[in-house]
Structure 1
Amino acid sequence: MNANMANTRISVRLAWVTFGSILSAAGLELFLVPHNMIIGGAAGASAIFSYLSEMRLGLFLFLLNLPFLLFRYRKLDAQTRLLTFAGLSILSLSAFFLHPAPAALDHTLASTAAGGLALGIGIGIVLRFGGFLDAADGLAMTSEAKAPGRIRRSYWIFNGSVLFAGGFVFGWDEAMYSVIAFLLAYRCSDFALSGFSLTRMVWITSESGEEIREALRSRYGKEVILLDNEENGRGKMMVCTVSRMEQASVIRLIRSLDPNCSLAFHAAHR
């Protein structure tokens, strides 16, 4: 019985990874690439190499992402390896077969929005169900626990470098649209990764617990639940819920009161 349930869960996750991979390939081949727009990461680098070599994008999507899977092979569990390899293969094959198709939209800005949405949601779905479609995302997700600040900076530097290189290859007008597509895809992937939840739970560990509680209550009307009245060496642990629209300003407020506090977010489902 347990084996059947485990196989069912894997099948469901594999189905969602397949859907996310095909959606991501459609975002690239039907909306972004026909208009010489790219996003960061290995997908953006693949688009540049594909343009310069006149070879199909799907080939480079597989070749540039495969080293990440091999490099991280021993550090990933069996399910993650399976889902990542399946997602990468389906992404590459889908892009390969969609390549001859004409652009779905002629308007550049509309293609930017549609491509960013499709690609971001597709990537987020694959991440949510245990796989990776881009080496940059995978490396950031699997390494951030050890050095979050350094990994995050490296992630943005790498993506920015790819977008900057795209400006030299495709032109700076296309680069401007590429930045818009990248930011939209980034936000959409985060939204999909959280299960399309509009509410986030924020876990706070701070030595300025009372000050933070009072600030969140007075400015946002938030009820902050104190999880532990005792000091644990890093301060008091608290939790509250915020909307996705409030998240950035809440982070700024908390950081202004305690720059060294620990913050963690995850989706809050009703």
Structure 2
Amino acid sequence: MNIQRNDGKIMQSDYAQKFSASITYGLVSAIALNVFWQPGNIYASGITGFAQLIDNFLSHMLHINVPISMVIYGINIPLFILAWFKLGRKFTLFTILSVTISAVMIQIVPEVPLINDPLICAIFGGAINGIGVGFAMRNGVSSGGLDIISLYIRKKTGKSVGSISVLFNACIILAAGFLFGWPHAFYSMFSIFISGKMTDSIYTRQQKMQVMIVTRHPQRVIDTIQAQLRRGITIIHGAEGAYRHDSQTILITVITRYELPQLSKAMKQADDQAFVSIADNIKILGNFYDPGME
């Protein structure tokens, strides 16, 4: 009974965290779009930038005014279906929530430029949006759009799909250049670069780290780590210390940078005298459990 109650509390806390992340992303993305990108004629990355192109084409070429929030939401609908069947229902529900809140916020937040300099709009729009996207993904919530495709491919193959984003965004930049002038295209390219860097600095679940632990208390370390992290551990028996020639056991596991504080806490609890070596930015072949997909 106590375990069930604790599991319920953890689940409620997880839902609250994801709900807060969805609201935060929605507000931040609306500020980036309405305060910086739209007034500065800067195009965003991914589906948002594609929606901006469609919106500008409809208004300038066909004289049809459609709220950009509706365009963004309409493009995301088939991607919601993909996420529902391939990435998980809870993940999809919170993604729908974040995109819905974002669309509502885009309608609510006024399009009021703080500055007319397109370079400043590109820098701050990209930085603010990157923070929002990274924060959402760090809490297991996608910002929708191209993120769903990228996460799906990464889940199936375990490989980076940066080339897809680069190709898609290159098409947006080229289209913006041909339709609305090359200065806007170059500023948009700079803004997309900043947004991507900010996202990577905050969303650390894709950064893998190999951990080697040399300990005299292997079972205690294994039990403590696996109680806090869902990670497999390889055991190498028969290691020997060169100085004292004492018997040691080597444990090897792979975590994400996001999980590093949890690992440090677990090691302090299990064996604070253990030797821990961490190799950064490694590549993984095969399946690797991603908690962001649940």
Instruction: Figure out how many residues of one structure are paired with residues of the other and give that number.
Output: 220
Cα deviations by residue, 1:234-261 (Å, 9 ceiling, x for unpaired): xxx787999xxxxxxx87xx8xxxxxx6
Q: For the Cα contact (< 8 Å) 1:201–1:241, is it kept in 2?
A: yes
TM-score normalised per structure 2: 0.65
Give 3-state SS (helix, strand or coil) of 2:21's partner. helix
Higher-helix-fraction structure: 1
| RMSD of Structure 2 on Structure 1 (CA) | 3.2
Which residue does 1:203 correspond to in 2?
Answer: 210
Instruction: State the shift of 1:33 in Å.
Output: 1.4
Instruction: Give, in angstroms, the shift of residue 193 of structure 1.
Output: 1.3
Are residue 123 (structure 1) and residue 133 (structure 2) matched?
A: yes
- Structure 1 unaligned segments of length 5 or more: list them: 205-226, 231-236, 243-249, 255-260
Per-residue displacement from partner, 1:57-100 (whole Å, max 9, x unpaired)? 111111111210112212232321221010010111111222x4
Partner letter of residue 134 of structure 2? Answer: G
In structure 2, distance between residues paired with 1:138 and 1:35: 28
Structure 1 residue 229: Cα displacement: 6.2
Letter in 2 for 1:115: G
Q: Which residue, 28, 51, 54 being the options, matches 1:46?
A: 51
Unaligned runs of 5+ in 2: 60-65, 212-233, 238-251, 258-279
Amino acid at match of 2:151: M
- Encode CA deviations 1:142-186: one digit per residue, 9 max, x unaligned: 212434568443332112112211112221001101001001000
Task: Report the residue type matching 2:178 in the other structure.
Answer: F
**Greater CA drift, 44-53 or 5-14:** 5-14
Q: Against the structure 1 CA distance between its residues 167 and 180, is the aligned structure 2 distance closer, same or farther, given a 3 Å change threshold?
A: same
TM-score by length of 1: 0.71
Higher Cα Rg, which structure: 2
Distance in 1 between residues matched to 2:191 and 2:36, nearest whole Å:
10
Give the C-alpha shift of residue 114 in structure 1.
0.8
> Contact (CA 8 Å) 2:208, 2:254: kept in 1 or not?
yes
Q: How does 1:63-74 map to 2 (within 5 A)?
A: 63-74=74-85
Other-structure match for 2:106: 95
Give the distance between the partners of 1:147 and 1:239, measured in 2 at CA. Answer: 17
Q: Does 1:35 align with 2:40?
A: yes
CA distance in 1: counterparts of 2:134 and 2:176, whole angstroms: 23
Task: Indicate how the Cα distance of structure 1 residues 241 and 162 shifts in structure 2: closer, same or farther if over 3 A, else same.
Answer: closer
Instruction: Quickly say closer, same or farther: Cα 1:74–1:202, change in 2 above 3 A.
Output: same
Structure 2 counterparts to residues 1-270 of structure 1, below 5 A? 1=5, 2-54=7-59, 55-98=66-109, 100-147=110-157, 151-194=161-204, 202-203=209-210, 262=284
AA aligned opposite 2:36? F
In 2, Cα distance between equivalents of 1:145 and 1:138: 10
